[in-house]
Amino acid sequence: MRSNVISGLWLFNQVAAHASFTGAAKHLHLTTGAVSQQIIHLEESLGFTLFERHSRGIRLTEKGIQLQQATQLHFSELGKLLDDLRVEKHINEVRLKLTPSFAFKWLV
């Protein structure tokens, strides 16, 4: 899967969580137009629409609901795994701060 599709799915998940292009854009410090264009590009890549666009806002399509549930689950699991890996890294790591001469004499 291409990285632009993955980043598009992450952005889609943010828009779905905020139920708004504007809300997601503000949260991500992007313009509403940039978010909208990226979602349109994602929809074109996937071959189906994710949102019904109305004058009063947006609503997930049936396929959008299914995709949102899957992306939310998988991004959440990925975040937990990364947190666990970061904690594990620090548990098994010892850092020493030494002068070069001391390190060379005693550790090499």
Model-wide pTM > 0.85: no
Nearest to 26 by CA among 74, 106, 18: 18
- Residue ranges of the domains in the chain? 3-91
Task: Look up residue 74 and give its two tokens.
Answer: 């998988």
Nearest to 16 by CA among 68, 57, 62: 68
Over range 33-60, report the average pLDDT: 96
Beta-ladder partners of 52: 59
pLDDT of residue 107: 66
Pick the CATH number of 3-91 from 3.30.465.10, 2.60.40.10, 3.40.50.2300, 1.10.10.10: 1.10.10.10
Over range 86-99, report the average pLDDT: 71
